[in-house]
Amino acid sequence: MPRSQPARISIAKINLDVQINVVGRNVDGTMETPNVLDYVVGWYKYSPTPGELGPSIIVGHVDSYKGISVFWRVRELVAGDVIAITRVDGTVAKFNVNSLQQFDQATFPTQAVYGDTNYAALRLITCGGTFNRQTYHYTANTVVFATLINS
């Protein structure tokens, strides 16, 4: 699909339909995330737009001190589930979930998640594992791997 910024993400299985904001990089070079208290997700502007060749990256929080957040139910996704991304140009890029995997943050497979693909891919990334009450961070990341099913 031609380049077009994403506007909304819908996942019927988990009753999710929310706005997509744009995120970039923090000063230290890590990927920004949306404000932890906002019930939105963030598309990483240095990744392809959903439907373009390569992995489009969308991040969201699983929870905050106020309770569950936008990607709380992402853990329920399984192979075959459909993710729809409405784009600014009015088209909808539909993706088929291939897998959901959890990776320890200390050994996160950066190339497997962010590396180039020869197809239009989507990655949903959120926190997973155990919440460390001393560092206020989770020990792992949950990643949904999905492939474009329309063009």
In a domain? residue 1: no
User: In CATH, what number is assigned to the domain containing residue 92?
Assistant: 2.40.260.10
In a domain? residue 83: yes
In a domain? residue 119: yes
Write out pLDDT tens, residues 11-22. 999 999 999 999
In this model, does residue 105 exceed pLDDT 90?
no
Write out pLDDT tens, residues 106-141. 899 999 999 999 999 999 999 998 888 887 788 899
Entry pTM: 0.94
For the chain, the domain total comes to 1
Cα–Cα distances in Å, from 75 out to 59, 99, 116? 14, 11, 24
Backbone angles phi, psi at 43, to 5 degrees: -90, 130
Average pLDDT over residues 76-83: 98
Q: Which residues pair with 33 in a beta bridge?
A: none
User: d(Cα 149, Cα 94) in Å, to the nearest integer?
Assistant: 6
**Residue 92 exposure: Cα atoms within 13 Å on the Cβ side:** 8
In a domain? residue 35: yes
In a domain? residue 109: yes
β-pairing verdict for 54-59 and 137-148: unpaired
Quote the domain boundaries for residue 76.
Answer: 6-148
